[in-house]
Amino acid sequence: MSPSTPDSGWLVEQARLSLKRLTPHLARLFASVASSDLTADEATFFTRLEAHIEPIFAALYELYGDQYDFFYHLEAILTAAAEAYITRAADLKQLDISREAQPDWFQSEVMVGGVAYVDLFAGDLGGVRASLPYFQELGLTYLHLMPLFKTPAKNNDGGYAVSSFREVNPNLGTMRELADLTRVFRANGMSLVLDFVFNHTSDDHDWAKRALTGDAEYQAYYLMYDDRVLPDQYEPRLREIFPDQAPGSFTYRHDINKWVWTTFYRFQWDLNYSNPAVFCAMLREMLFLANQGVEVLRLDAVPFIWKQIGTTCENLPQAHTIIKAYNALVQVAAPALTFKSEAIVHPRDVRSYITPDECPVSYNPIMMVSLWDALATRDVRFMTHTLSKQFPLPPNTAWINYIRSHDDIGWGFADEDAAEIGINGFDHRYFLNMFYTGRFPGSFATGLPFNFNPKTQDMRIAGTAASLAGLEQAQKKDDAQLREFAIRRIIMLYTIVFSAGGIPLIYLGDELGTVNDYGYRVNPDKAADNRWVHRPYTDATHMGNRHDLTTIEGRIFQTLRERIFIRKRTPTLRDGETTFFHTGSWHVFGFTRHRKIMVLANFYEYAQTVDLKPLVSAELYAPVSVLIDLLTGDDYKPDAALTLESYQIVWLERRG
């Protein structure tokens, strides 16, 4: 429980006084290292600490100021930051300086991301390194590798039940190989992104093992209860994340006779962030990864990190305070490290984490859901309405715009947004679930229902982008027209995220039109989780077909690659300024970038015509003599009608 909010002037005074008292101790840490290079480094460290001590102190005092040993923990936390900085490699310190000079680096039009599992895409870290030419061919500048840390052989939640943040899964490589990979990537203009499992560890983690021996210090790293009194007070308001596989939020451990808080799976123990020792321990893990050259950490499951009786224990103010404290400490010890949030919650809550002093970048589930919604309904009005409200972000932040990821699709639109245009949220989710599992008449999708909840009738959807867009069904029917529609859908969706404000992210395999892989069903370690249907191994034959335009792989890969490079030479597509508008057609989606480029996309199987004159007048502002489609080079008169073929998209740049 945090102390009452003190006067801001008192906080500033105490922050400065604390820094003055702790400076001699921190200076001795630098003096203990025999290196002539550290003289300038020490000055840099203290300059940064001086700049950030006030938000650091204020956040930590809010969280832990009521604890008798607060100043002991403050010293431990600042010591952890100093020690990480002292051991940080010289080239990474240069990257820090570069990023401080260009804090909006991630908003550049050259930023294009990919995401993949190490083993599924390339076998191991050596295979990832060998794949650099492929990444460069596609145009990637940002690669997100799915969880690669040491985990138990079983009960690992696909890598999200971490046994050690300082060890790579031996099947994938070593931490030294990871650090070498980041150096190779930096030399080639690529940033490495990793998941930082923020809310919990595996029950196989060293901290958990010590807790299981009865060590009270490490039992306090987690949330443990001798009986059901407190769990029964919490549980009624908690959301079940995996009601089928792991009902409830508490697990009884007979080996220690305690109930352990387990939001996700029973082998994933929630960390106790009300304990400042946990905050410090996780800071050390975070900075260790930064010192391996990781440039972006995706903070997994951030809404759940603070617990309070009488609440849902999601998105509480203290969760934001914790991230702000970590962000400020990173600005001191490793400013090149950027936080990316991941929060599959209400759109309002998703956006609440996205600020320069919390997570400057974030996954954009709102756009992802809206795109699949419009693809099913062929009606873009809900998407336009939702994105007009939910897309804008604060300056110096960015969305990660994506079509698919390793996870399921949950229909996380805001019910109030739906109601504003006459849509019932519950009914609409039911329709989308039926459509994307192929149960709605006329559906082109082949998806699987994930985690049906009989209490709420909710479910989520598993499946690759290609299968959800109709390619799997078209191949089964051997129908050329359906195949053509599916290919056009995939290309259109990705062309939208290439042009919308933010960093576009490709779930690797989508660029080849990869369909569902049902082989997981014969693997006992995967069979119970049908999300593995959209986590296939890379097919060398399919990848080899990418240069053959007569193949599905070649058409999709070469088209996406061309459009990525068009993006990268179009400065107007940088940062997040995007304005969505109604085009006059229910089927045609429209937005502008900086009022200079107008994007129009037809979400219908049939050609649609829009009148450019009112759109140019209302949305581009400046006088326009001609519109050039950057994707094809075709020119259009600004006062004419434009006909878009099925699933066609144009990037119309105004010319005066």
* Residues with catalytic function: 300, 342
Tokens of 478: 């051997």
Residue 27, CA distances (Å) to 11, 24, 55, 518 in order? 23, 5, 21, 58
Kind of pairing between the strands at 608-611 and 641-644: antiparallel
Strand ranges (DSSP E) for 216-357? 224-225, 250-253, 258-261, 268-270, 296-300, 338-341
The three-class DSSP label of residue 616 is: helix
Residue 125, CA distances (Å) to 97, 140, 182, 573 in order? 28, 17, 11, 32
Question: Whole-angstrom Cα distance, residue 545 to residue 514?
Answer: 12
Question: Whole-angstrom Cα distance, residue 620 to residue 365?
Answer: 28
- Reported as half-sphere exposure (CB side, CA atoms, 13 A), residue 148 has a value of 30
Question: Whole-angstrom Cα distance, residue 555 to residue 469?
Answer: 15
Tokens of 526: 């995967």
Are 522 and 615 within 8 A, CB to CB? no
- The count of other CB atoms within 10 Å of the CB of residue 239 is 15
Question: Whole-angstrom Cα distance, residue 520 to residue 457?
Answer: 26
Length of the chain: 656
Kind of pairing between the strands at 458-462 and 448-453: antiparallel
**DSSP structure class, residue 510:** G
Question: Whole-angstrom Cα distance, residue 31 to residue 236?
Answer: 54
Closest to 108 in 3D by CA, of 593, 503, 413, 468: 503
- The count of other CB atoms within 10 Å of the CB of residue 451 is 19
Name residue, tokens 């008798």.
68
Nearest 10 degrees: Cα torsion 559, 562, 566, 567 = 70
Are 456 and 447 within 8 A, CB to CB? no
Are 608 and 643 within 8 A, CB to CB? yes
Question: Whole-angstrom Cα distance, residue 656 to residue 595?
Answer: 13
Question: Whole-angstrom Cα distance, residue 459 to residue 392?
Answer: 28
Encode 457-505 in three state secondary structure. Answer: CEEEEECCHHHHCCHHHHHHHCCHHHHHHHHHHHHHHHHHHHHCCCEEE
Tokens of 272: 């106790």
Are 326 and 363 within 8 A, CB to CB? no
Kind of pairing between the strands at 191-197 and 142-145: parallel
